Structure 1
Amino acid sequence: MYQPRAFEETRIAVLHDLILRYPLATLVTTDPDGPGANHIPLHLAHDGSSCGVLQGHVARANPIWQNASKGEVLVIFHGPQRYISPSWYVTKTETGKVVPTWNYVVVHAYGPLQVRDDPAWVCTQMETLTQSQESGFARPWGVSDAPADFTERLIQQVVGMEIPISRMIGKWKVSQNQPLQNRHSVIAHLQQDEHPFSREMAELIRFTLQNDEALP
């Protein structure tokens, strides 16, 4: 991934927070027929390592668990993203030298794909993933709410997998390369916009802006 220094994000806690908030991952593998990609919700578990481990499951009919390469796989987590209009920049009226861009935050995680073809492991993983997503509901649903024979049949139809994270790369492209007045103006326009990601992007820009303004 092309990574200008201004957009680097290396803090593990920040990268982990995005993974936890946006767990639907793009899992990129090297298959016999070439590159492959699957979209799978993955749970970040802490195993004592610095980066943690990603856990999930796929349909047994999905060849990814049989065809994945012996090397590392790439897992991509996408956070908020938003088109940024040049008309939002204060410097547009001063110089006219502005162009559109796209702001986004993303985490790339790397590690070996390890198969967990074990019904007990899969059941535990399903329960953990479900609990993490249901925790905010008034009446959270649990795997045990379904009939046991029903879930047992479903578990036989899936295969678990685990990806110990060997390294992570974070890219936070949130207007850091713009003058301070442009960043303030972008925040103001995003706060007035109705796009679902606009408010989140405004907060991301505000966070980096506050850090930069605090510098001597």
Structure 2
Amino acid sequence: MYNPSGFAIKDLHELQQQIIDTRLALMVTHGEQGLQASHLPLLFNPEQGPNGTLYGHFARGNPQWKELQNGAEALVIFAGADAYVSPGFYPSKAEHGKVVPTWNYVAVHAYGTADVFTEADRLLNLVSALTDRHEASRQQSWKVTDAPADYIDGMLNAIVGFALPIQRLEGKRKLSQNRSAADIAGVREGLAASPDVHDQALAHLMR
């Protein structure tokens, strides 16, 4: 991605935290069938490899997994908070009027090639871990073992798993760092006062 040095995230822990915080990632590949993209919930192990390893699965009918199997590089996008920035937020607007709208956001891109697998035990471990993660906040959490075993076996036959060691990792925090302190404060206050929860989330990052 276009990433001026003033916006680049350099800290590995911060990059990895954005991966952990993103509930649904976007995986993009390019192969014989051209560009393909899938929205996927992923598991992340930050201790496997220098940048961590991603785990997920495709529906078997999704042809994108075949591109991974053939060695295609994957780009996985983890989008964080984002917000439209109005020129009206800038105190400098009243001074000279030389302001335009922009967009503030946080994003992390991970790159790598994946190991594709179909072994039932690995798939079961994967879907169980994914389920446990997203059911953890529920008072009565559902577990894979709550479903009949033969039904789960059939579901596992319908998916293909992958492990993707992250070979390259880059991140961007565009939070008005290129503006004056007064303009940054104006953006932060303007977004914090918005009724939109996405604006408020972005304002929180600017504190």
TM range (shorter): over 0.9
Match of 2:84 in 1: 83
Question: 1:110-125 alignment to 2 at 5 Å?
Answer: 110-125=111-126
The 3-state SS of whatever aligns with 1:182 is helix
Residue in 2 aligned with 1:98?
Answer: 99
The runs of 4+ residues in structure 1 deviating greater than 3 Å are none
Name the amino acid aligned to 1:28: V
Shift, 1:50, TM fit: 2.3
* Mapping for residues 103-182 of structure 1, pairs under 5 Å: 103-182=104-183
Q: Distance in 2 between matches of 1:127 and 1:46?
A: 19
Contact 2:16 2:46 (C-alpha < 8 Å) held by counterparts: no
Superposed CA offset, 1:72-114 (max 9, x none)? 2111111111100000111111111110000111000011021
Q: How much identity, in percent, do the aligned residues show?
A: 38
Partner of 1:190: 191
TM-score (norm 1): 0.91
Aligned-pair RMSD on alpha carbons? 1.3
* Deviations, residues 111-148 of structure 1 (Å, cap 9, x unaligned): 10210111111110111111111222222221112222
Partner of residue 206, structure 2: 205
> How many angstroms does 1:2 deviate by?
0.8
Is the Cα contact below 8 Å between 2:93 and 2:99 reproduced in 1? yes
2:192 and 2:204 in contact (8 A); partners too: no
Deviation of 1:71 after TM superposition, in Å, equals 4.1
Partner of 1:211: none
- Quote the Cα distance in structure 2 between the aligned partners of 1:137 and 1:181: 43
1:1-80 to structure 2, matched below 5 A, reads 1-68=1-68, 69-80=70-81
| 3-state SS in 1 of match to 2:78 | strand
Alpha-carbon distance in structure 2 between the residues aligned to 1:161 and 1:196:
34
Asked if the contact 1:23–1:43 (Cα under 8 Å) also holds between the matched residues in 2, the reply is no
Instruction: Give the TM-score of the pair, scaled to structure 2.
Output: 0.95
Task: Give the drift of 1:47.
Answer: 4.2
